Amino acid sequence: MGKAENKTQPTAQTPGSFIASIESETRRQDGFRLLDIFREATNLAPRMWGPSIIGYGRYHYKYESGREGDFLMTGFSPRKAHLAIYILPGYRDMGEPLSRLGKHKLGKSCLYINKLADVDEAVLSEIIRQGVQYMRAKYETWEE
C-alpha cells in the first residue's frame, strides 16, 4: 500500500493567530495557556496541522497493512465543545496520572477537557511528556 498522504497536513497559519481568532474568551485563554504548557513539556515549536490542530514534532508510522505516513507527535485543538489533547498513539499505561488529572474524558488517542480549570496543569504536563517519550522510543520522530 505504501505511504499515503494524511488529510491533515501542516499549514502556514501560525498557532497564535489561530488561537487569537477563537470567539470564546475562555477557550482562547486556554488555547494560549496550552501553547505554554506544550512548549514547556515538549521543548518543540508549535505548528498548525489543518485548520484547527496545533501540533508538536512529527512521527512516522507504518501499519501492518503496509500503509505508512507522517503525523504530529502530540498536540491539541481548542474546539468549541472542549479542548482535545492528542497524545498519540493513545494513552498506554497512563492510568495513574490520568487518575490525578481531574475532570476529563478519553477517546482513542484524545483526551477531552472542558476547560483547563478542570484539570491539574502539572499532571497534564506530565502526561504530555510521557506521551512524547513513548513516541520517541517507539517511532522515528523529528522536530520541525
Sign of the dihedral through C-alpha 48, 53, 56, 57 = negative
Assess whether pLDDT exceeds 60 at residue 77.
Answer: yes
Give the pLDDT confidence of 24-50 residue by residue, as tens digits: 999 999 999 999 999 999 999 999 999
> How far is 25 from 31, CA to CA, in rounded Å?
10
Give the relative orientation of helices 121-138 and 25-42 as an angle to the nearest 10 degrees. 50
Over the stretch 94-131, which tens digit does the pLDDT of each residue have? 889 999 999 999 988 889 999 999 999 999 999 999 99
Query: At a CB cut-off of 8 Å and minimum separation 6, what does 141 contact?
Result: 57, 58, 59, 60, 73, 135
The arithmetic mean of pLDDT across residues 59-70, rounded, is 84
Q: Which CATH number fits domain 2-142: 3.90.1150.200, 3.20.130.10, 3.40.640.10, 3.65.10.10?
A: 3.90.1150.200
Can you give the residue ranges of every domain in the chain? 2-142
pTM: predicted TM-score of the whole model, two decimal places = 0.89
